[in-house]
Homo-oligomer: A and B are copies of this chain.
Amino acid sequence: MAESSTPRHHVVVIGGGFAGLYCAQGLGRSPVDVTLVDRRNFHLFQPLLYQVATGSLSPANIAAPLRTILKRQANVRVWLGEVSDFDTVKKEVALADGSRLPYDTLVVACGSHHHYFGHDAEWEPIAPGLKTIEDATEIRRNILLAFEAAERETDPDKRKRLLTFVIVGGGPTGVELAGAIGELARTTMTREFRAFNPADCRVVVVEGQPRVLTNFHEKLSAKALQALTALGVEVQCDAHVTAVTPTHVEITSDVDKSVRRIETSTVVWAAGVKANPLGRKLVERLGAKADVDRGGRVSVAPDCTVPGFADYFIIGDMMSQKDAAGKPLPGVAPVAMQQGDYVADVIDRRVRGKSPRAAFHYWDKGSMATIGRARAVVETGRIRLSGLIAWLAWLFIHVLYLARFENRLLVVFQWFFAYVTNNRAARIITWMRTEEQPDQKA
Which residues of A does B touch, CB under 8 Å? 1, 39-42, 58-61, 63, 65, 67-68, 71-72, 77-82, 96-97, 99, 128, 132-135, 137-138, 144-145, 148-149, 151-152, 189-194, 406-407, 409-410, 413-414, 417, 421, 423, 425-433, 437-438, 440, 442
**How far apart are the CA atoms of A428 and B61 in the complex, in Å?**
10
User: In the complex, what's the smallest C-beta–C-beta distance from A334 to chain B, in angstroms?
Assistant: 24
A133 touches B60 (CB 8 A): no
User: In the complex, what's the smallest C-beta–C-beta distance from A5 to chain B, in angstroms?
Assistant: 17
**How far apart are the CA atoms of A414 and B425 in the complex, in Å?**
13
A407 touches B425 (CB 8 A): yes
Contact partner of A425 (CB less than 8 A), chosen from B60, B189, B429, B442, is: B60
Q: A71-B190, A71-B192 are in contact. List 5 more A-B contacts (CB 8 A).
A: A1-B194, A42-B427, A80-B149, A82-B438, A97-B442
**Chain B residues within an 8 Å CB radius of A133:** 428, 430
Contacts A410-B414, A433-B128, A440-B97 given; does A152 touch B58 at CB 8 Å: no
Contacts A59-B58, A97-B440, A413-B413 given; does A148 touch B80 at CB 8 Å: yes
B428 touches A65 (CB 8 A): yes
**Chain B residues within an 8 Å CB radius of A429:** 40-42
**Chain B residues within an 8 Å CB radius of A68:** 192, 423, 427
Of the A-B pairs whose beta carbons lie under 8 Å apart in the complex, a sample of 14, sorted by A's number, is A40-B428, A41-B144, A77-B151, A80-B148, A81-B440, A82-B438, A99-B152, A406-B421, A406-B423, A410-B413, A410-B414, A410-B425, A413-B413, A432-B432
Instruction: Please provide the 9 A-B residue pairs with the shortest distance between their CB atoms, ordered closest to farther.
Output: A60-B426, A58-B58, A67-B192, A134-B433, A80-B148, A58-B60, A42-B428, A71-B191, A407-B425
